[in-house]
């Protein structure tokens, strides 16, 4: 249970149906925030929101594809209407398509850039417009983008994905600069999660075996743990608690940072 208090805040979590996003939605709700889960996966997204309500929180679900501008307009409007405002955006939706550099495909690269980079930038656009003075919510707020340890190390077979997460890192800092200098009252930060055994994390472990880099998924995971000073994989709660911290008033003078939450792997 986090000790940071987000009572009265209203959050939208993209990719909130499962994995890290669902854990972040849960942690934000535990800290007192009302949470809108946004995702392509309707059944899983509704179930995540229902679980938050069953635990005593205020929560809803909105179907959204983060690559579509109209979906952002709808998701922000739904957050403001159903939750009473919009103070926190977690730009978490992302995809990873593994390939050695010699095997990359243009379509896969474009898909990753569309979701991870275009989706994140559209999210910042619509959140900043809504949260800044004169916007539809107009109370300022906090944005946390989910980058990756992949933006800070050189792990094989994820060159395209790493490029998207490096782009998220840089876009975070530009947005933080604009938001600060233009008086929006919005802090913008990102986190670099280490490997977490979600659907995405376990698929990556299998993919690097298929790419011939490791003899088994266990060997791939073992190599990652071996490069991690704290000696284990990440857990969903590790990432969720860091996000809650960055959204809270405890981080009130923190903007434009990338926070590694990787057990030291990327240092
Ligand atoms: N799991 C890891 O090891 C790890 C490590 C570093 C960073 N990350 C990042 O954390 C985030 C969450 O990863 P995860 O492990 O929970 O992945 P996941 O695949 O388990 O979940 C991703 C969620 O995003 C949703 N999504 C995908 N494309 C979308 C779109 N276009 N519009 C709306 N929703 C969409 C999916 O439906 C899913 O619910 C991603 O940005 C990922 O790159 C994950």
pLDDT in tens, 186-236: 999 999 999 999 999 999 999 999 999 999 999 999 999 999 999 999 999
Low-confidence ranges of the chain (pLDDT < 50): 1-2
Q: Does residue 193's CB lie within 6 angstroms of at least one atom of ligand 1?
A: yes
**Largest pairwise CA distance in the chain:** 56
Q: What's 158's DSSP letter?
A: B
The strand ranges marked E within 42-161 are 59-63, 88-91, 141-146
Of all protein residues, whose CA lies closest to atom 19 belonging to ligand 1? 200
Alpha-carbon span 28 to 241, nearest angstrom: 8
pLDDT score of 1: 45
Give the span between the Cα atoms of 91 and 68, in whole angstroms: 14
Question: Which pTM does this prediction carry?
Answer: 0.98
Whether 4 is catalytic: no
Using the atom order of ligand 1, give the atom closest to the CA of residue 41.
Answer: 37
Helix (H) or strand (E) holding 43: helix 42-54
- Ligand 1 centroid to Cα of residue 181, in Å, is 31
Instruction: Specify the pLDDT at position 220.
Output: 96
Q: Residue 130 — φ and ψ, nearest 5°?
A: -75, -40
Indicate if ligand 1 lies below 6 Å from the C-beta of 146: yes
Tokens of 64: 């959204």
Backbone angles phi, psi at 188, to 5 degrees: -130, 120
Mutate to test the pocket of ligand 1, among 13, 21, 147, 233 (most ligand atoms within 8 A of CB): 21
Does ligand 1 have an atom closer than 6 angstroms to the CB of 118?
no
Question: Among positive and negative, which fits the CA dihedral 224, 188, 251, 93?
Answer: negative
Atom of ligand 1 nearest to the CA of 115: 31
Beta bridge partners of 99: 158
Q: Check if 266 has its Cβ closer than 6 Å to any atom of ligand 1.
A: no
Four-residue CA torsion sign, 27, 44, 40, 101: positive
| CA dist list (Å): 131 to 19, 30, 38, 136, 232 | 27, 23, 18, 7, 38
Q: Render pLDDT for 241-263 as a digit per residue (tens, 0 to 9).
A: 999 999 999 999 999 999 999 99
Q: From residue 35, how far is each of 107, 221, 236 by CA, in Å? A: 33, 33, 17
Q: How far apart are CA 256 and CA 96, in angstroms?
A: 24
CA pair distance 261, 95, nearest whole angstrom: 19
What is residue 2's predicted lDDT score, i.e. its pLDDT? Answer: 47
Beta bridge partners of 144: 90, 189
């Amino acid at each position: 249970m986090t000790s940071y208090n987000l009572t009265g805040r209203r959050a939208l979590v993209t990719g909130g149906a499962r994995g890290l996003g669902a854990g972040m939605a849960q942690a934000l709700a535990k800290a007192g925030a009302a949470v809108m889960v946004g995702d392509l996966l309707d059944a899983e997204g509704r179930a995540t929101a229902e679980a938050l309500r069953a635990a005593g929180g205020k929560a809803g679900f909105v179907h959204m594809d983060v690559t579509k501008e109209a979906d952002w307009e709808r998701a922000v409007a739904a957050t403001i209407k159903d939750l009473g405002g919009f103070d926190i955006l977690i730009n978490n939706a992302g995809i990873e398509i593994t390939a050695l550099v010699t095997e990359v495909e243009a379509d896969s690269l474009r898909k990753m850039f569309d979701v991870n980079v275009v989706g994140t930038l559209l999210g910042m656009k619509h959140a900043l417009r809504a949260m800044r003075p004169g916007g539809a919510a107009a109370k300022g707020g906090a944005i946390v983008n989910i980058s990756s340890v992949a933006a800070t190390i050189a792990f094989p077979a994820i060159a395209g994905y790493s490029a998207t997460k490096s782009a998220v890192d840089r876009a975070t800092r530009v947005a933080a600069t604009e938001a600060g200098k233009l008086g929006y009252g919005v802090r913008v930060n990102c986190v670099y999660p280490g490997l977490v055994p979600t659907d995405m994390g376990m698929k990556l472990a299998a993919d690097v075996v298929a790419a011939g880099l490791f003899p088994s998924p266990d060997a791939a995971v073992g190599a990652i743990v071996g490069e991690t000073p704290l000696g284990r994989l990440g857990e969903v709660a590790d990432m969720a608690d860091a996000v809650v911290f960055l959204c809270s008033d405890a981080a009130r003078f923190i903007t434009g940072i990338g926070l590694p939450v990787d057990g030291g792997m990327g240092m």
